[in-house]
C-alpha cells in the first residue's frame, strides 16, 4: 500500500503540476478573450469615470476627431433622449423626460435648465437673431474705434462726431432690442413656453386650444404654429401674455414641410406642389414645382446680399429661390426623387437623391462639383477635407473639390447620435445612457 502511494507521488506529481499550469494558462487565455469592447463597457459602467474614459478612448482611437473639448454626463437624469443645435446653444432633452439643458457649445457649461415636463417637439429659436446681433455688435465696435480715432484729429467737425455718437447709441439700442427678443420656445403638452435664450427665464406660457402638428416657428413678433391636420397655421402674439390669438389662415393645401422664418416672411411647402412665402395672413409670393416637397426647406446665405430658400423635391430636382421675390436662381436635376433635407457648408450644398447618389453643388450657381454613390450624408467640415457618412454608416474623409474618398473610419456602435456644427466644425458624440463629448478634428497633419 505504501508502495502504491509512493508510485502515485512520484508519477502523479508531474501530472498535477501540468494540470495546474494548464488551468492557469486557460484562465489567462479566457480572461484575455473576454476583454472585448462590450465587456470593457460593462465593466466601465460600474464607474462614471471609467465609462467616460472608455468613450473618450473610443473616439480618439476610432475617429478623426481626436481633440476632445469637453465631456458631460446626464446619467442621473435618465440619459439623453434628443439633442438640438442652435447658434451657440446645444439643447439636451433628458431620458427621464423632465429636463431641458441649454449648454454653451464651445465650453460645455450649462447655461440653464428648464424642468416643466417632456417636450412635444425639439425647442426652437429665431435662427437669424444671433447672427443679426453679432453683425450689429461688429458695426458698433468698428464705429467706436473710428470715433476714438477721429475725436483727436484736427479739423474734424463736431457735427460729424455727434453723428457717430448718435449712430453708436442707435446700434446699442438695436442690440438690446434684438437680445430682448432672443428667446427659446418649448412645447410641453399643449402649453407653449417662451424662455430667454441667455438665462432660461420664463417670459410667458400659453395654453393652446388646438393640437399642434409641428415645431413652432418664431419670429420677433409672432410665433407660427401648424395645427393637427396641417391645413392651418395659428399665430401667437409674442407680446400678448394671455393667450394665442385666434387669427389663422388656410394655406392652399396641407403643409408637407417645416415652417421657416426669415425676416419678414415665413416659408413652407404644401401638397399642391407649391412653396409659399407669407407675412401675417397674406401671400407674398408662391412657386410651383412638379411634385410634392417632403424634405425640410433650408435657408442658405449665398452672399452678403442674397439668401436662398433651398427646396428639394420629389420631382427629381433641388431649387434655389430668392427669399424675397421667389425668383428661381438655379435648379439642379438629379435622376431620382429627393426626400432628404440638403446640408449647406462652406458655400456648398450636399444633397442625396433616392437612388443613393450624393451631389455636391455650388450654393452660388447650383453647378455640380462632384457626385458619388459612396456617401449618404454630410457630417462636418475639416481644415482641408470634409467628412461624410458612408453608405454603411462609416465616417469618410473626403477631398472637398473632387469627392475622392481619402480615409474611412468605422463609427463605434456605442454612439447613438453624432451631430456636427457646420460653422464651428465641432462634432458631438452622444450616447443614450447619458454621455456627450464635443470634439474637433485632430491637430496633426494628414
With cell 413652407, the residue in question is 268
pLDDT per residue as tens digits for the range 402-439: 999 999 998 766 788 899 987 778 999 999 899 999 99
Kindly state the DSSP code that residue 241 receives in the 8-state scheme: S
Is pLDDT of 401 > 70? Answer: yes
Res. 25: pLDDT tops 50: no
Q: What's 316's DSSP letter?
A: S
pLDDT higher than threshold 90 for residue 356: yes
pLDDT for 445 beyond 70: no
What is residue 68's predicted lDDT score, i.e. its pLDDT? 95
| Cα 68 from Cα 77, distance rounded (Å) | 23
CA dihedral sign, ordered 14, 15, 20, 22 = positive
**Average pLDDT of the chain to the nearest whole number:** 86
Task: Name the residue range of residue 22's domain.
Answer: 2-42
pLDDT tens column, 284-302: 999 999 999 999 999 999 9
Give 91-148 pLDDT, tens digit per residue: 999 999 889 999 999 899 999 999 999 999 999 999 889 889 999 999 999 999 999 9
Question: Which residue is listed with cell 460600474?
Answer: 46
Within 10 angstroms of residue 251's Cβ, the number of other Cβ atoms is 22
Mean pLDDT computed over 163-171: 94
The edge-to-edge listing of strands for the beta sheet with 386-390 is 375-381, 386-390, 395-398, 405-409
Distance between CA 57 and CA 437 in Å, rounded?
11
User: In this predicted structure, what is the pLDDT of residue 423?
Assistant: 74
Please check whether residue 322 is in contact with residue 284, taking contact to mean a CB–CB distance below 8 angstroms. no
In this predicted model, what pLDDT tens digit does every residue of 38-80 receive, in sequence order? 554 454 455 778 889 999 999 999 899 999 999 999 999 999 9
Q: How many CB atoms lie within 10 A of CB 80?
A: 24
Is 329 domain-assigned?
Answer: no
pLDDT category at 444 given cuts 50, 70, 90 is low
Residue 201: all three cell numbers together: 427665464
Q: Does residue 58 belong to any structural domain of this protein?
A: no
Give dist(CA 86, CA 261) in Å, integer: 14
Mean pLDDT along residues 169-186 = 94
Residue 23 lies in a domain: yes
How does residue 30 score in pLDDT terms, banded at 50, 70 and 90? very low
Q: Are strands 217-218 and 110-114 parallel, antiparallel or unpaired?
A: unpaired
Residue 37 falls within a domain, yes or no? yes
356 to 57, 335, 351, 352: CA distances (angstroms):
33, 10, 10, 6
Any domain includes 289: no
In a domain, 385, yes or no: no
Mean local confidence (pLDDT), 221-226: 89
Please compute the mean of the pLDDT values over residues 268-286 and round it to a whole number.
90
- Residue 74 in any domain: the answer is no
Q: How many domains does the structure of the chain reveal?
A: 1
Question: Does any domain span residue 20?
Answer: yes
Mean pLDDT of 30-44: 47
Q: Which pLDDT band holds residue 241 (cuts at 50, 70, 90)?
A: low
CA distance 353 to 357: 5
CA 220 from chain centre, in angstroms, equals 22
Amino acid at each position: 500500500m505504501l508502495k502504491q502511494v509512493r508510485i502515485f507521488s512520484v508519477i502523479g506529481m508531474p501530472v498535477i503540476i501540468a494540470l495546474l499550469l494548464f488551468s492557469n494558462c486557460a484562465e489567462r487565455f479566457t480572461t484575455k478573450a473576454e476583454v472585448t469592447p462590450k465587456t470593457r463597457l460593462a465593466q466601465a459602467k460600474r464607474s462614471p469615470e471609467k465609462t467616460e474614459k472608455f468613450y473618450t478612448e473610443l473616439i480618439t482611437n476610432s475617429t478623426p476627431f481626436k481633440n476632445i473639448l469637453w465631456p458631460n454626463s446626464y446619467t442621473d437624469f435618465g440619459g439623453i433622449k434628443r439633442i438640438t443645435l442652435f447658434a451657440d446653444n446645444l439643447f439636451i432633452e433628458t431620458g427621464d423626460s423632465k429636463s431641458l439643458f441649454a449648454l454653451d457649445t464651445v465650453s460645455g457649461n450649462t447655461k440653464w435648465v428648464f424642468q416643466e415636463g417632456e417636450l412635444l417637439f425639439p425647442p426652437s429659436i429665431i435662427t437669424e437673431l444671433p447672427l443679426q446681433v453679432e453683425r450689429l455688435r461688429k458695426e458698433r465696435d468698428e464705429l467706436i474705434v473710428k470715433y476714438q480715432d477721429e475725436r483727436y484729429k484736427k479739423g474734424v467737425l463736431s457735427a460729424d462726431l455727434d453723428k457717430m455718437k448718435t449712430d453708436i447709441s442707435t446700434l446699442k439700442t438695436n442690440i438690446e432690442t434684438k437680445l430682448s427678443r432672443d428667446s427659446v420656445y418649448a412645447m410641453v403638452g399643449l402649453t407653449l413656453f417662451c424662455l430667454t435664450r441667455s438665462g432660461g427665464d420664463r417670459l410667458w406660457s400659453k395654453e393652446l386650444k388646438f393640437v399642434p402638428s409641428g415645431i413652432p416657428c418664431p419670429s420677433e413678433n409672432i410665433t407660427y404654429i401648424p395645427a393637427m391636420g396641417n391645413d392651418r397655421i395659428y399665430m401667437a402674439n409674442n407680446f400678448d401674455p394671455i393667450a394665442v390669438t385666434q387669427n389663422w389662415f388656410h394655406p392652399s393645401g396641407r403643409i408637407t414641410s417645416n415652417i421657416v422664418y426669415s425676416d419678414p416672411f415665413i416659408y413652407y411647402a404644401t401638397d399642391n406642389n407649391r412653396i409659399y412665402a407669407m407675412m401675417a395672413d397674406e401671400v407674398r409670393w408662391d412657386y410651383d414645382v412638379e411634385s410634392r416637397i417632403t424634405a425640410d426647406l433650408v435657408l442658405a446665405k449665398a452672399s452678403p446680399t442674397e439668401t436662398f430658400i433651398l427646396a428639394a423635391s420629389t420631382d427629381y430636382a433641388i431649387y434655389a429661390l430668392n427669399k424675397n421675390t421667389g425668383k428661381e436662381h438655379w435648379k439642379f436635376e438629379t435622376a431620382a426623387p429627393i426626400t432628404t433635407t440638403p446640408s449647406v457648408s462652406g458655400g456648398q450644398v450636399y444633397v442625396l437623391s433616392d437612388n443613393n447618389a450624393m451631389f455636391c453643388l455650388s450654393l452660388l450657381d447650383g453647378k455640380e462639383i462632384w457626385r458619388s454613390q459612396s456617401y449618404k450624408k454630410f457630417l462636418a467640415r475639416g481644415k482641408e477635407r470634409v467628412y461624410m457618412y458612408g453608405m454603411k454608416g462609416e465616417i469618410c474623409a473626403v477631398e472637398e473639390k473632387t469627392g475622392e474618398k481619402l480615409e474611412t473610419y468605422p463609427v463605434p456602435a456605442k454612439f447613438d447620435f453624432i451631430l456636427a456644427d457646420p460653422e464651428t466644425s465641432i462634432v458631438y458624440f452622444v450616447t443614450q445612457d447619458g454621455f456627450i463629448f464635443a470634439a474637433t478634428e485632430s491637430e496633426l497633419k494628414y
